[in-house]
Structure 1
Amino acid sequence: MGERTAEEVADWITFVQMLIPEGLECLENLEESAEILRDNLSTLKGGYSLFYGLGGNVKAKILYTEAKLKRIEGLITLLKSYQESEELLAKKKEEEESEQRNKDVLKKLGF
């Protein structure tokens, strides 16, 4: 993979930031999809051990499902981290605004 210019990186970051709000709206569905994939993977692995002779197609499906599950879990982790950081930033902003209001009140009271 070649090196990226600062402009390319900035464009990529902007693109991802635009997608995150939509991703947050889909977070619950992503979590449900991950659970379904986990169940499917468990079933596939159980079936693979029973029908080992059919191997190739089942093993390929297992690998595909594992890869898909890892991508979805990574996306879920990213979205939850973003959501937590947004909540922390909102809380910090609220605290700063409250502190400023308190200072303004004290100033009006002559302290």
Structure 2
Amino acid sequence: MNQNPLEKGPEKILTKEEVLRVISRFLENSTVTRELSDDKGLYLLETQVAEEEQKEIIEYQYMRKGRFGKNQSSDTSIYIVYYQNGVPTGGNIVAIYNPKTEEWKDIR
């Protein structure tokens, strides 16, 4: 039997408040710009803060482990994405959720 590696066993579905609490470790005074849920709960949350002087936007994106339309993630994680003049210029994963311990690992 083939099992989808993206969907191994049940994992705690985090609430918006739990995700925002983790994002606040990295970014203060951010604004939620997008929030998507399915029948299980929150699977995508994006927050941003704009730096007026540099015309830069810093976005933190939470994504739950799984496949959601064209997007998929092998881990529940938080990414940082940098935008300059509206164009993404880079980014990386900053934290990964460990479902066994129910804790976030900072990997910056």
Q: TM-score range by the shorter chain?
A: under 0.3
Structure showing greater Rg:
1
TM-score relative to the length of structure 1: 0.26
Structure with greater strand share of residues: 2
Select the structure with the greater relative contact order (CA < 8 A; seq sep ≥ 6). Answer: 1
TM-score relative to the length of structure 2: 0.27
